[in-house]
Amino acid sequence: MKRVSIFGATGSIGQNTIDLIKRAPSEYQVVALTGGGNVRQLAADARALNAEVAVIADPARLPDLRAALEGTTVECAAGASALQEAASRPADWVMSAIIGAAGLRPGLAALAQGATLALANKETLVAAGPLVMSEAARHEATILPVDSEHSAIFQALAGEAPATVERVILTASGGAFRDWPLEKLEAATPEEAATHPNWAMGQRITIDSASMFNKALEVIEAREFFGFAPEQIEVLIHPESMVHALVGHVDGGLMAHLGAPDMRHAIGYALHWPARAPLPVARLDLAALGKLTFADPDPARYPALDLARRVMHRGGLSGAIFNAAKERALDHFIARRIGFTDMARIVSAVLDRTDAAPGVVDAEFTLDNVLNADHLARIRTDEIIASRG
């Protein structure tokens, strides 16, 4: 039996992971399930999967969790230190599907106990790539990418010599506003931004798809995970979301990975790796589809992509700053304190300010300094927004 833990079990990736586990319950022993605040979902899954421990991030919800799991053997816990403890429990495979930088510490704890980390939480690599990769190497832990694009690249690279890779292309649907007139974007609402043409995902990543901040994070994620140079990583708009990524080799060949837009493919690939197993995802009917289309992203519509380039060239802790400023700007957009197009302007202004304070960006790459840069970026974001009146 494979011992598995799922961090962010109540979210979109978490629920897709649980769907796969529930289809073969005799193959898995569930160690830890965690959620942010949704006690009902967490308790129902912990019961159904007979988890060892259920952890709710919000300590105020612990009494509810205990009540919901009364009469079971599932241990209940709450708060950040309980998340750490749960991540330290021996498991063979740990799904990292908390959203945001909050996923970093549990991910590091899972690596420290040598687990295979299925990494959906791209923020972990954006904020702390060098630290995370060196911790994985130090503990002989494996990281498997779960982002669809990165899983696609990982699969396309299998059996290839890394040195023969010339470039990689990440595809992007273009999000909710791909075809909107540019002048309308300023007034776009969180509800409008949170509708995705192809993928069913959590609210935050869906809005990040509309702004292309999601792809900006993914470009940095690709650099940190695979070690590509910034110039090797390209982005193509592909409205059908059937080709997830392409790998170009020195001989001019392009290896594409295609599949239906269903995260259970990337999750299932990581769950069964290095084997392949049947997965309950729709099969593509290319004839019915007829054609696949591609276009270059318009920098005026998607300024986040240029910000990602800037971050990669600046290096140091600028990824942590970029991610934190983005998370905070997104909070303010969801709360309707700023407009949709303000997000990129504000993140850019935070990068300007922190670049001017090199002690932060160029500090040594330790967990404390990453968390400090993250914290500072959130304060700067709030300051910049407050100063706009």
Position 208 contacts Mg ion (CB under 5 A): no
- Considering only 4, 5, 12, 17, the residue that binds ligand NAD (CB under 6 A) is 12
User: 198 contacts which partner out of Mg ion, ligand NAD, none, CB within 5 to 8 A by kind?
Assistant: none
**In the complex, what is the shortest distance from the CB of residue 186 to ligand NAD, in angstroms, rounded to a whole number?**
25
Q: Collapse the DSSP code of 178 into the 3-class scheme (helix H, G, I; strand E, B; otherwise coil) and give the result.
A: coil
Count of CB atoms within 10 A of residue 224's CB?
22
Can you tell me which of 127, 128, 131, 201 binds ligand NAD, judged by CB under 6 A?
Answer: 201
Q: Choosing among ligand NAD, Mg ion, none, which partner's interface includes residue 245 (Cβ < 5 to 8 Å by kind)?
A: none
Measured over the CA atoms of residue 199, residue 227, residue 268 and residue 75, the dihedral's sign is negative
Site size for Mg ion (CB under 5 A): 3
Query: Residue type for 145, please?
Result: P
Nearer to ligand NAD, 115 or 216 (CB): 216
Is 127 near ligand NAD (CB under 6 A)? Answer: no
Instruction: Say whether residue 99 binds ligand NAD (CB under 6 A).
Output: yes
For position 97 contacting ligand NAD by CB under 6 A, the verdict is yes
Interface residue with ligand NAD among 216, 263, 307, 385 (CB under 6 A) is 263
- 312 φ, ψ (degrees, to nearest 5): -65, -40
The H or E element spanning position 361 is helix 358-361
Place of tokens 């791909």: 178
Cβ of residue 110: shortest distance to ligand NAD, in angstroms? 14
Q: Closest separation between CB of residue 381 and ligand NAD, Å?
A: 17
Pick 119 or 311: Cβ nearer Mg ion: 119
Told to check if 11 binds ligand NAD by CB under 6 A, we report yes
User: If binding means CB under 6 A, how many residues of this protein chain bind ligand NAD?
Assistant: 27
Binding to Mg ion in span 109-168, by CB under 5 A: 147-149
Residue 212 CA: distances (Å) to CA of 208, 230, 239, 304: 6, 17, 13, 6
Question: Per the omega criterion (within 30 degrees of 0), is the bond before 274 cis?
Answer: yes
Can you name the residues that pair with 53 across neighbouring β-strands? 32, 75
Q: Is 178 in the site for ligand NAD (CB under 6 A)?
A: no
The partner in contact with residue 312, picked from Mg ion, ligand NAD, none with C-beta cut-offs of 5 to 8 angstroms by kind, is none
Evaluate whether 197 touches 175 at the Cβ level (below 8 Å).
yes
- Dist. CA 331–CA 160, nearest whole Å: 41
- Quick check: 107 binds ligand NAD (CB under 6 A)? no
- By three-state DSSP, how is residue 297 classified? coil
> What's the CA gap between 146 and 13, in Å, rounded?
9
- Identify which of residues 52 and 349 has a Cβ nearer to ligand NAD in the complex: 52
Q: Which does 120 bind (CB under 5 to 8 A by kind): ligand NAD, Mg ion, none?
A: ligand NAD
Q: How far apart are CA 84 and CA 107, in angstroms?
A: 9
Measured distance CA(66)–CA(74) in Å, rounded: 9
Q: Give dist(CA 106, CA 119) in Å, integer.
A: 11
Near ligand NAD by CB under 6 A, which window of 197-205, 269-277, 296-304, 314-322?
Answer: 197-205
**Scanning residues 275 to 304, which ones bind ligand NAD (CB under 6 A)?**
none
171 binds, among ligand NAD, Mg ion, none (CB under 5 to 8 A by kind): none
Residue from 121, 318, 354, 369 binding ligand NAD (CB under 6 A): 121
Question: CA 316, CA 172: separation in Å to the nearest integer?
Answer: 27
CA distance 305 to 52: 42
Find the shortest distance in angstroms from Cβ 11 to ligand NAD: 2
Q: Distance between CA 226 and CA 124 in Å, rounded? A: 14
Tokens of 60: 């105020």
The CA distance from 239 to 312, in Å, is 26
Minimum distance of ligand NAD from residue 311's CB (angstroms): 17
Q: Is 123 in the site for ligand NAD (CB under 6 A)?
A: yes
Which residues here bind Mg ion, judged by CB under 5 A?
147-149
Binding site for ligand NAD (CB under 6 A): 8-14, 35-38, 57, 97-99, 102, 120-123, 147, 199, 201-202, 204-205, 263
